[in-house]
Amino acid sequence: MEFLILEFVLERGSRESSKTMSGKIEPRRSLRVAIVSILIFALGIISIVLGATSMFLGGRLTEDWASQLWVNFAVNGLIMLSGVTALIDICVGVIYLISGYLLLKGKNLEFGAVLALGMGLVSLFIFGIGGWWTLINNVVYKGIGVTYLRIILLGLIPMISGALGLTMQREEAKTVMGRRIRGFWEDFSHNKIGLVGATILFMYIGAAILTPVLSLGINPDQTDLADDLVPPEWLTVFNPSLNTLPRSTVYTLGWKLDNSSIPEFISSSSSYNVTMVGNETIFKFDQVTFPENKSICIVLNTDLFNYPYDPPRGGGFNVIFSARTDPNYYYKIGNATVSTSRALYNVEVNFTNPEQTFSIWDAEWYLNKLSYWRQGPETQMKLLPIILPPAQTRLLKTKQTFSVSLAADIYWAYRMGYVDESGGVDSNGLARTLFSKPGNYSFKMYIFISPTTSAGTLRPVSFSLKVSSIKLTIRGLLWGVMGTDYQGQDVWARVVYGIKISLAIGLAASVVSILLGIVVGIVAGYLGGTVDELLMRVVDILLCLPSLPLLMVLVYIYGKNVWYIIILIAVFGWLGLSRVIRSQILSLRETAFVECASASGASRTYIMFRHLLPNVLPIIISDFVLSVPAAIMFEASLSFIGFGDPSTPTWGREFNRMWIEGGAFTHFSWWWILPPGIAISILCMAFVFLGHAVDEIVNPRLRRRR
């Protein structure tokens, strides 16, 4: 108690002396002041310019403009928060201007510095959170540059300058504050548990800032990166036999026309043309009369590609094949109009593995209709159209142009097995038969053209074919740092993205609840009387409400929005703190220095926030440190039951997915179950350790008996 009075006297005294010194800045300090103030001033101008350009130029820019660097930043800023950023930039810039001006003028140095510091903190908060939010919801990594630029330019630099500005003030206050901080640090650094907690916390914050780097650039929402529920890749270190398991690969193979398959009468015609444009092969001829009524076969080959692994569980083919043929030929028989095409076309795609060849697509078109056949040359196993039901080939018909996107999912067929030529069902699965051995594989495409006759004469045929390269996607059975979940999404990326969201939610809810608790506690404690009664009744009533069930109902009714959840957690979180603060204030109210302060004419607000608040600061700090993990776990529990925001990738949502939808437990996928739990546990433990250390410092009863 005496210590506090001494401090109070010292503070009053120093303020008196510094008041007489105001306006006079010692010469050795003026350089620092000038630098700092010019910096902040310049930042203010930059910020206003940035905001103005976003606002005025944003809508009228084209892609060419956007290639210039600074304009790119402005445009990206606009894309990110659609004009709100521009407004924020301008407001922030104005405030920095004011603070820089104040610093320059020298009259209100401290206010200017505090303003810059505060604004820096606030913009750090805003851009940090805003940037994290857009990075989560809009996984377009274009915006990341401008976020970091903003955080550094408008957040960190003003903060540091403001802090520097503050250090130039009031030597006495500086030493008092410095002494306090140094004392705290001395106590803290001896507490090993606290140090461990602090280190872990800083690592998490670093991970939250560096999320795109830490998650190895993988988008957490991208599905089918590998097969569902596959283990991580580093298991091969412990079990080398897993090395033969397939990894996710995409084979892109271009088609090469086999020139020997093109008959003379076509290749010698003037309209014959073969080109390769990009990854597409274009082949055409125009109005060529076939010499005989026999079909020709045009062959397209791909190169051999090497597949060195065990058979996969799933994957897919994709090739876009479009052809243009002659229009139909109409003739009348009696009253009916019959149309025939000038030729019959048949297309077949074969897949060759080291042991056999399979026909994976077989179609003919005749009279502008595509239908499926079952035969083709060189095939030993027929794969029935169950792998390629017509629904999966999208047929776009414009006049005589057929464009078929041939895409097939092997996994689907794996589930169903397939029927071989003799009618037996092979339950090994399609993928295992197709990719039976590691070795060289290839594709072949056959195009059959048979001209039709009209009144005995062969009709000339026009044909034009465009084939894109065939893409074979294999879904791996080992993947990444932490494997995949039930939709093929990368678990490690999801956990890393969960860090910043969970931290953000926990910190935001805690900060709001702390502020509420402080204000209510101090006001109720100091003012007393009816205000006290009223506030304490409110606290009593709110304390008696069951928080989780009520929260569930409110979320159910008003929608699952993460902002609601933050506010609701905060509303339930401030009650305990306000009670504790109030009881402390009740005892502090009667002390001498408070009496002195009010006797010297200090207003009640001044006493409350200038004298009482610093004395309850230890309680507040220790409560804050412990309320963050409580908020994080509360949100995780809410998301786990299913009442969280489904668009935010928190860890609680991960648990919900793995428990209700995922089947992680039936497949014993420890790589999905453990990481989110371990992440949240370590984070909360770091806070608990920190809180324990702070508790030991703050609570004098726990100190050792000297």
Q: Which position among 334, 423, 549, 601 is part of the footprint of other proteins (CB under 8 A)?
A: 549
CB of 414 to other proteins, least distance (A): 24
8 A C-beta contact, residue 575 and residue 623: no
The least CB distance from residue 330 to other proteins, in Å, is 52
Query: H-type helices in 275-370, by residue range?
Result: none
What DSSP line would sit under 230-289, residue for residue?
Answer: PPPTTHHHH-GGGGGS-B-EEEEE-EEE-GGGS-HHHHTSTT-EEEEETTEEEEEEEEEP
CB closer to other proteins out of 456 and 700: 700
Shortest Å, Cβ 477 to other proteins: 19
Residues in the chain: 706
Whether residue 473 contacts residue 407, with contact meaning beta carbons closer than 8 Å, is answered with: no
Binds other proteins by CB under 8 A, chosen from 35, 304, 425, 545: 545
Supply the DSSP symbol for 374: -
C-beta of residue 522 within 8 angstroms of C-beta of residue 609 = yes
529/546 with CB nearer other proteins: 546
Q: What is the 3 state secondary structure string of 538-605?
A: HHHHHHCCCHHHHHHHHHHHHCCCHHHHHHHHHHHHCHHHHHHHHHHHHHHCCCHHHHHHHHCCCCHH
Phi, psi of 318 (to 5 degrees): -150, 120
Which residues sit opposite 73 in a β-bridge?
none
- For residue 25, how many other CB atoms are within 10 A of its CB? 14
For residue 160, state whether it binds other proteins (rule: CB under 8 A).
Answer: no
- Which part of the chain contacts other proteins (CB under 8 A), choosing from 159-167, 226-234, 439-447, 538-546? 538-546
Structure tokens at 450: 């048979």
Q: What would the x/- binding string for other proteins be over residues 579 to 618, using CB under 8 A?
A: ----------------------------------------
Angstrom distance (rounded) from CA 133 to CA 148: 13
Which element (helix H / strand E) includes 206?
helix 192-209
Q: Is 231 in the site for other proteins (CB under 8 A)?
A: no
The piece of 134-142, 476-484, 545-553, 608-616 that touches other proteins (CB under 8 A) is 545-553
Stretch that binds other proteins, among 101-109, 429-437, 570-578, 698-706 (CB under 8 A): 698-706
Binding residues with other proteins: total (CB under 8 A): 48
Q: Strand 381-382 to strand 357-366: parallel, antiparallel, or no bridges (unpaired)?
A: parallel
Token pair, residue 62, equals 């084209």
What residues between 72 and 91 interact with other proteins by CB under 8 A? none
- For 681, the enclosing helix (H) or strand (E) is helix 670-698
**Which is closer to other proteins, CB of 71 or CB of 198?**
198
Please report, as residue ranges, which positions from 616 to 675 form the binding site for other proteins (by CB under 8 A).
Answer: 629, 633, 636-637, 640-643, 655, 659, 665, 668, 670, 673-674
Residue 367 makes CB contacts below 8 A (sequence gap 6+) with 328, 339, 340, 341
Rounded least distance, CB 587 to other proteins, Å: 12
**Of these, 169, 219, 547, 591, which contacts other proteins (CB under 8 A)?**
547
Taking the complex as a whole, how short is the minimal distance between the CB of residue 476 and other proteins, in angstroms?
24
Candidates 284-292, 486-494, 534-542, 597-605: pick the segment binding other proteins (CB under 8 A). Answer: 534-542
Q: Which is nearer to other proteins, 49 or 685 (CB)?
A: 685
Please state, in angstroms and rounded to a whole number, the distance separating the CA atoms of residues 433 and 307: 14
- Residue 567 binds other proteins (CB under 8 A): no
Choose the stretch contacting other proteins; rule: CB under 8 A; options: 112-120, 215-223, 375-383, 685-693: 685-693
- Single residue of 31, 69, 336, 544 touching other proteins by CB under 8 A: 544
Complex with other proteins: residue 324 or 589, whichever CB lies closer: 589
User: Judged by CB under 8 A, does residue 35 bind other proteins?
Assistant: no
Counting Cα atoms < 13 Å in the Cβ hemisphere of 286 gives 4
Q: Which stretch binds other proteins (CB under 8 A): 161-169, 390-398, 533-541, 572-580?
A: 533-541
Q: Does 418 bind other proteins (CB under 8 A)?
A: no
One of 10, 519, 692, 698 touching other proteins (CB under 8 A)? 692
Residue 51 beta carbon to other proteins: minimum distance, rounded to whole angstroms? 40
Among the listed residues 90, 154, 229, 680, the single contact to other proteins using CB under 8 A: 680
Q: Which residue has the tokens 């953000």?
A: 504
- Residue 706 is a binding residue for other proteins (CB under 8 A): no
Residue closer to other proteins by CB (options 399, 706) is: 706
Q: Which of 21, 338, 396, 541 binds other proteins (CB under 8 A)?
A: 541
Contact with other proteins (CB under 8 A) among 6, 543, 592, 617: 543
Q: What residues are paired with 439 via a beta bridge?
A: 307
- Reported for 169-178, long-range contacts at CB under 8 A and 24+ positions apart, including other chains, are 169/18, 169/109, 169/110, 169/113, 170/14, 170/15, 170/18, 170/110, 172/10, 172/11, 172/13, 172/14, 173/11, 173/14, 176/7, 176/10, 176/11
CB of 658 to other proteins, least distance (A): 8
Please give the helix or strand (H or E) that residue 189 lies within, else none: helix 171-189
**Positions 178 through 217 that interact with other proteins (CB under 8 A):** 193
Cα angle 255-261-267, degrees, rounded to a multiple of 5:
95
Helix (H, G, I), strand (E, B) or coil at 363: strand
Radius of gyration from C-alpha coordinates of the chain: 37
- Residue 58's nearest CA partner among 78, 36, 28, 41 is 78
Site for other proteins contains 505 (CB under 8 A): no
534 is a contact residue toward other proteins (CB under 8 A): no
525, amino acid identity: G
* Shortest distance (Å) from residue 230 CB to other proteins: 18
Residue choice 554, 580, 613, 698 for contact with other proteins (CB under 8 A): 554
DSSP secondary structure letter of residue 354 = S
Q: Which stretch binds other proteins (CB under 8 A): 241-249, 320-328, 457-465, 539-547?
A: 539-547
Residue 165 or residue 662: which is nearer to other proteins going by CB?
Answer: 662
The partner residues of 257 in beta bridges, in order of sequence, read 300
379, 357 contact by CB (below 8 A): yes
Q: Which C-beta is closer to other proteins: that of 404 or that of 680? A: 680
* Beta carbon of residue 656, minimum distance to other proteins (angstroms, whole number): 10
Q: How far is the CB of 528 from other proteins (least distance, A)?
A: 17
Q: How far is the CB of 548 from other proteins (least distance, A)?
A: 6
Residues that bind other proteins (CB under 8 A): 193, 537, 540-541, 543-550, 552-554, 556-557, 629, 633, 636-637, 640-643, 655, 659, 665, 668, 670, 673-674, 676-677, 680-689, 692, 701-702, 705
